[in-house]
Amino acid sequence: MADLQRILSIEVPVIVRLGECQMTVKDVLDLVPGSIIELQKDSDSELDLLVNNKQIGFGVAVKVGENFGLRVTYVGDIRERIEAMGLAAEGGEASAEDPELDALAEAMLGGHL
């Protein structure tokens, strides 16, 4: 139980991806302040929610005071989120049959944390 509490306090990078595109090296080198990079995504499309560079959900942009935020409209199940964070196997990726991953997911779902 104490190990699970420690795991839950680990900070992980959370990224909201607006979009992405391919550019030539020349185009990247030609970027200057004021350049516009056009993204192949509609302005009202949902944005990707990533943890450790792995998508776990998506949502829509919202304004929070003077900042932007993300209103989550979909997030994967607890197992997908734990796998994205790589918490089950220390120093490696979690496998689909990882008993530690199962124990963590069960503890979180069962409210034992």
Question: Please, is 87 exposed, middle or buried when counting C-beta atoms within 10 Å of its C-beta (0-12, 13-18, 19+)?
Answer: buried
Going by the DSSP 8-state scheme, the letter that residue 80 receives in this structure is H
pTM of the model: 0.66
Kindly list the domain boundaries of the chain, sorted by start residue.
2-20+40-109
CATH classification (class only), 2-20+40-109: mainly beta
Question: Please, is 36 exposed, middle or buried when counting C-beta atoms within 10 Å of its C-beta (0-12, 13-18, 19+)?
Answer: exposed
d(CA 102, CA 96): 9
Q: What is the pLDDT of residues 42-100, one digit of tens each?
A: 888 899 999 888 899 999 999 999 999 999 999 988 877 877 777 544 444 444 556 66
